[in-house]
Amino acid sequence: DADVTQTPRNRITKTGKRIMLECSQTKGHDRMYWYRQDPGLGLRLIYYSFDVKDINKGEISDGYSVSRQAQAKFSLSLESAIPNQTALYFCATGTGGAGNQPQHFGDGTRLSIL
C-alpha cells in the first residue's frame, strides 16, 4: 500500500459544486501539505498543517479550505469550484524536528472543473 494515499485520483465536476479531496498517510508524520500544480509549472503550496490543531495558509489559499481530521488525514475542500481551479493536486507529508527531512508525496488528484 502507498504511504500517502489520495482520493479520488481523477474528478470531473461542474462550476459551483463543492469538492473534497482526501489524503491519508501511514508514515506517522506530523506534518501534512496540500500543493497545486498547473500545466507547465511547478507546485505551489495551498495549506499546511503541523498537527490537528495547527493549520496554516500557503501562498495560494484563496478559494480553498482544509480539515485535519486526525494525524493521518488531511482534506482539501473547494467550497464553490471554478474553472481556474482545474489542476493537479498533491498531498505531502513530512516530519518536524531539528532539521528538515524529505517530504513524501501522494500520486496526485487530477481535478477538472467545467
Partner 1 sequence: GIQVEQSPPDLILQEGANSTLRCNFSDSVNNLQWFHQNPWGQLINLFYIPSGTKQNGRLSATTVATERYSLLYISSSQTTDSGVYFCAVGRGSGNTGKLIFGQGTTLQVKP
Give the integer Cα–Cα distance in Å for 40 and 49: 27
7 in Cβ contact with 20 (< 8 Å): no
Give the 3-state secondary structure of residue 74.
strand
Binder to partner 1 among 7, 61, 103, 112 (CB under 8 A)? 103
The Cα 1–Cα 7 span in angstroms is 14
Q: If binding is defined by CB under 8 A, does position 74 make contact with partner 1?
A: no
Residue bearing cell 481551479: 85
Query: Grid coordinates 513530512 are at which residue?
Result: 94
Q: Which of 26, 69, 96, 114 binds partner 1 (CB under 8 A)?
A: 96
Q: By rule CB under 8 A, what string of x and - marks binding of each residue 15-54 to partner 1?
A: ----------------x-x-x----xxxxxx--x------
Binding region for partner 1 (CB under 8 A): 31, 33, 35, 40-45, 48, 56, 58, 88, 90, 92, 94-97, 99-105, 107-108, 110
